[in-house]
Chains A and B, each alone.
Chain A
Amino acid sequence: AQKITQTQPGMFVQEKEAVTLDCTYDTSDPSYGLFWYKQPSSGEMIFLIYQGSYDQQNATEGRYSLNFQKARKSANLVISASQLGDSAMYFCAMREALYGGATNKLIFGTGTLLAVQP
C-alpha cells in the first residue's frame, strides 16, 4: 500500500483564490510527522510546513495551512490568496517513528502540479 497518496496530478486555481491540495497517508506508527514541500520549475525543494502527529492544532505558516484530520489520515495543504508565484509542483511527505529509532527518511508522494491562472 502507498504510504503517501496525492490523488491530484494537476490543478488549476485562479489568482487570489484559495486552493486545497490533498494528501492522505498510511502508517501504524503513533509518532509521525507530515511535511509539505514546493518544487518550482527551477528544481529546488522548498520546505513549507510541518505537522506532528501529536500536535493539537493545525499548523499554519503565512498563507499556508495544514488541514490535519488524524482519524481520516489526511493532511491537506491549503494555500490562501493564490499568487502566480505559487505555480509549482507540491509534494507531501511523511517521516515515521519521530522519537526513538527514527530512520529520518522522508516518504514522498507523487506530487501535485499547481497552476495559478491570472
Chain B
Amino acid sequence: GAVVSQHPSWVICKSGTSVKIECRSLDFQATTMFWYRQFPKQSLMLMATSNEGSKATYEQGVEKDKFLINHASLTLSTLTVTSAHPEDSSFYICSAKEYGGNQPQHFGDGTRLSIL
C-alpha cells in the first residue's frame, strides 16, 4: 500500500527556534500534500494544502509566515514552524494523495512537537 514517511516523529526544542518537519511519499507521486494539526482528543485541523510546484493554500486563521510550507517535488513536502513558542506545541501530521478525486489521503505517522 501507499506509504508516507514523516520525520522526525518527536521534537523537543527551546522557544524561539525553528523546526522543520519532512513528509515524503515513498512509493507514489503525491500531487497534493496536506498538513494538519491535532490537539489531544480532538479531530484533525487542516492547516494548509500544497500542490507540487505551487504555493500552499492556507486555511483561515493559519499564519503563513509562521508555518512555512514547501512542496518542491512530487514526493516531498516540508513544514517549518518558525520561531516556535510553547503554544505551537502540538501533534502535526501530514498526508499525501495521488491525482484523482477518489484517491484517499495517506498519512504519515505524525510529529509530536514540544516547545519548552
Contact = CB atoms under 8 A, between A and B. Distances in A.
Interface of A: 31, 33, 35, 37, 42-47, 50, 52, 91, 95, 97-99, 102-106, 108-111
Name the prevailing secondary structure of the A interface residues: loop
A103 B34 CA distance: 12
B17 to A, nearest CB: 23
Interface stretch (B20-28, B60-68, B75-83, B91-99): B91-99
Contacts of B91: 43
A11 to B, nearest CB: 15
B112 A50 contact: no
20 contacts: A33-B101, A42-B109, A43-B112, A44-B107, A44-B108, A45-B93, A45-B95, A47-B104, A47-B107, A91-B43, A91-B44, A98-B102, A99-B101, A104-B49, A104-B101, A105-B46, A106-B105, A108-B44, A110-B43, A111-B43
Contacts of A98: 101-102
Q: Taking each of B97, B102, B107, which has the highest tally of chain A beta carbons within 10 Å of its own beta carbon?
A: B102
Name the prevailing secondary structure of the B interface residues: strand
A91 B105 CA distance: 13
Given A43-B91, A45-B95, A109-B43, A95 B101 contact: yes
A104 B101 CA distance: 7
B106 interface: yes
